[in-house]
Each structure stands twice: as C-alpha cells, then as structure tokens.
Amino acid sequence: MQNAAPKTLGPLSRREARFAWTLLLPTILSVALVIVLPLMAIFWISFKPIALEDLRPASALVREQLRGKPKQSGDAAIIRYKIRNSSQKDPIFGVTLADEIPSSLEVIAVDKRCSLKGKNLNCSLGAFEGGQRETLEIRVIAKQDYFSNNLKITDSIAKVTGRGENILTNFNFTLKNFVHVFDSAEFWTVIYATLFYTVFGTIGALVVGLFTALLLNIDFRGKGLIRGLYLFPYVAPVIAVAFAWVILFDPFSGSINALLVQMGVVDTPINFFGQKPYALIMVTVFEIWRYFPLSFLFILARMQAIDVEMYEAADMDGASPFQIFWYLSLPTLMGILSILFLLRFIWTFNKFDDIFLLTGGSADTRTLTVNVYEQAFAVSNIGAGAAVAVVIFIFLLFFSIFFFRFFNREEGL
C-alpha cells in the first residue's frame, strides 16, 4: 500500500495558523519575561564570583562642604570635596569632578589636580582603588553677596564621574561557585535531607490522600462538612499552622511532650524540631499532613467519575474489597496519581517556607532551597546561591524527563 502524499495547508488554514500564533504571542512573551529571563539570569550569576555587596557597581561619591565659616566680607574659607570609592575592592577609572563656584566666593588657590575656567571647576583624579578616599581643597574669599543673599555652597551640586567595572555585566566567568557548592562538607547531608523530605513527603501525601478519598467516597449525612474540614490543613495560613505545630511539640511547654511523659512513653521530653533525626522526620510529617488534602481532592473527584456498574459487577462475582480496589480502582486512578506525583514531587523539592518556619534548616533539615537562601543572604554569596538554584533546576529537569519517559501513565492504563 502506497503512502499517502503529505497534506499541504490551504490559504485558509495558513491564515488560521497565523492568527492562532498571533493570539498566543502575548502568552509566549509573558512566559519568556516571567520564567525564561529570570532563569537565564540565575544561570548567568551562577558563573560569577559575586557577593551581595557586588550587586551595586562601584561608583565615586562626593561630599561638599565649606570650612572656615566666614562671618564678613573678606574672610577666608576652604571649599572641601571628599571623594571616595563606594566599593571596598573594585577600582574606578577616570574619576573626574566638576562644579560651579558661586560668584559670591572668590577663588585664590586650587588643588594642583584641578583647573578653573571662569567659575567652572574641573578636576581629574585618575583611578581610585577599592576603598580609596581623596580630599580636594579650594581656597576662597567670601564677598558681600555671600552674606546678603544667604547663599550656601551646596546650591551648586558637584558632579563626580568614573568608570567602575560591573561584575554582573562583564564576561569574566568562573566555576568557583559550583566547586564551593560540591566541595562543601554539608553538601551530601543537604542532598540526603532534600531527597528524604521530597520522596517520603510526596509518597506520604499521595497515600494519605488516597486512603482519605476511599473513606469519604460514600454517601452519608454531613459528607460535605467532613470533606470541607479535611481541606483545612491545605487552606490554613502556613505561618499559623507551623507556629501551632512548634508550640504543640515544644520540649518544655508542648502538650505532646507532656502527654508522652505522663503516659510513660518517654522519660524526658523530646526536642522534635531541634534534635536529629526527629527534626527531619517531623518536617516530613508536616509536609504530608499539610498537603494530603490536595491529593485527596483530585483523587476523590476521579473516583466519583468511575462507573458504579463496574463495582456492582465485581461485587456480584464475589470480588473482595481489596481485589476491587487493586484491579478496578487503582488502574483507573493511575493517570491522576502519576500527575499528582509529578506535581507534588516538584513542589515539595522546591519547598522552602515550611522547613524555614519549623526548624530554620537546623538539625540536618537544610534542603537545597534552604541552602539557596543561606548561601545568597545569610553569608551574602549570591553566586553560590545561584549555583545551588541551578543544581535544583537541572535535577528537576532530569527527573521530569525520566518521569515522562518511564513512569507517566495515561488515564485508564
């Protein structure tokens, strides 16, 4: 059988295609601005030896003041300019200063680095090393206009210029940020905490959500209220529920520890959020408790769309509840379960606020996202923080490719 000739688009189809792309163009541009450009910026910064202080390029700053406080015409004074490099390590090249001397002040001497043309002062100061400071002094004599018009030396603003290299925009790149990240003594501890928290948090949320959906997939009085209450952990403000958990499990005043001691389960209170390995287990349990309602909601909606006749036929054939679940419900739910697993894995892997509110990353609960915050802001190493963010992106990219290649299940398979 011969292959059919490829179909060519007619004029109307081509016009429709162009119109569709025109409608999609704002969305494409929005995605590029919101996602692609920040992602490119993170990759760019990850190869830069940049600290928090380097975000503002080096520049020359000037402070102008009149020294001597003349009180009458003919009194001498000094116009003093204090110029400094705003950066403590980056140089500035070609520093110049320009100012207009008020007509009420007569210049009698200028710094050798300056020239005076009429009332216009121009100074060439050359290069400034990091943290360098210079002082210029211009000797003047006050005229009567200075007092009668109540003039100030700052009425004319001195302008200082200079070329400082911007580490963000130059083309000097380095791998030191990635070396710093991978050579860190805590790197593998961070990886272990991230994988433990993500894998068990994701699977736990799916399992608890599935179990809850099975319990509530029946008709009973007040089912709407009960289902609404099950959504409380997900819709409640995270800072409120995290604070409540910290108080409940506090080793000194927490109700949970008091009950465990009184029941004889433990001899002394346990510092659940400050002691290894309890802290990592507790933040994972908190993740399961807080986000299982999302899985429950989607799974329950899918279960209610399953044809009831399938269950009735299986029940008439003598199938046990476990067999009905394993051979009927679970295969039908594999599509939604695979989607939920992918989304929950990515969201949990990127989760920051829950762990930071509960433990602050202490007691071996520092995940990669918490490490990004600590590198970028706690120790002011923006480049290292961006490098960790790149590691997160690459890991999630490979995970997504691997998932869609081997584990993605279409609905009903």
Tell me the three-class secondary structure of the chain, residue by residue.
CCCCCCCCCCHHHHHHHHHHHHHHHHHHHHHHHHHHHHHHHHHHHHCCCCCHHHHCCCCEEEEEEEECCCCCCCCEEEEEEEEEECCCCCCEEEEEEEEECCCCEEEEECCCCEEEECCEEEEEEEEECCCCEEEEEEEEEECHHHHHCCCCHHHCCCEEEEEECCCCCCCCCCCHHHHHHHCCCCHHHHHHHHHHHHHHHHHHHHHHHHHHHHHHCCCCCCHHHHHHHHCHHHHCCHHHHHHHHHHHCCCCCCHHHHHHHHCCCCCCCCCCCCCCCHHHHHHHHHHHHHHHHHHHHHHHHHHCCCCHHHHHHHHHCCCCHHHHHHHHHHHHHHHHHHHHHHHHHHHHHCCCHHHHHHCCCCCCCCCHHHHHHHHHHHCCCHHHHHHHHHHHHHHHHHHHHHHHHHHCCCCCC
Distance CA 312, CA 302 (A): 18
Best CA proximity match to 257, nearest among 243, 270, 275: 270
Distance CA 249, CA 258 (A): 9
Domain residue limits, the chain:
58-164, 176-407
Q: What is the pLDDT of residue 408?
A: 62
Q: What is the pLDDT of residue 214?
A: 87
Q: Is it true that domain 176-407 has CATH number 1.10.3720.10? A: yes
Distance CA 134, CA 81 (A): 8
Distance CA 345, CA 392 (A): 12
pTM of the model: 0.78
pLDDT tens for 111-147 read 899 999 988 999 999 999 988 999 999 998 888 777 7
Q: What is the pLDDT of residue 1?
A: 46
Q: Which stretches in the chain have pLDDT values below 50?
A: 1, 411-413
Distance CA 397, CA 345 (A): 12
Q: What is the pLDDT of residue 413?
A: 39
Provide the b/e sequence for 143-155 (b: ≥16 CB within 10 Å). beebeeeebebee
Its CATH class, for the domain covering 58-164, is mainly beta
Provide the b/e sequence for 12-23 (b: ≥16 CB within 10 Å). eeeeeeeeeeee
Cβ 85 vs Cβ 76: under 8 Å:
no
Q: What is the pLDDT of residue 75?
A: 84
Side-chain-facing half-sphere of 217: CA atoms under 13 Å: 21
pLDDT tens for 225-248 read 888 888 899 999 999 999 999 999
Cβ 297 vs Cβ 232: under 8 Å:
no
Q: What is the pLDDT of residue 3?
A: 53
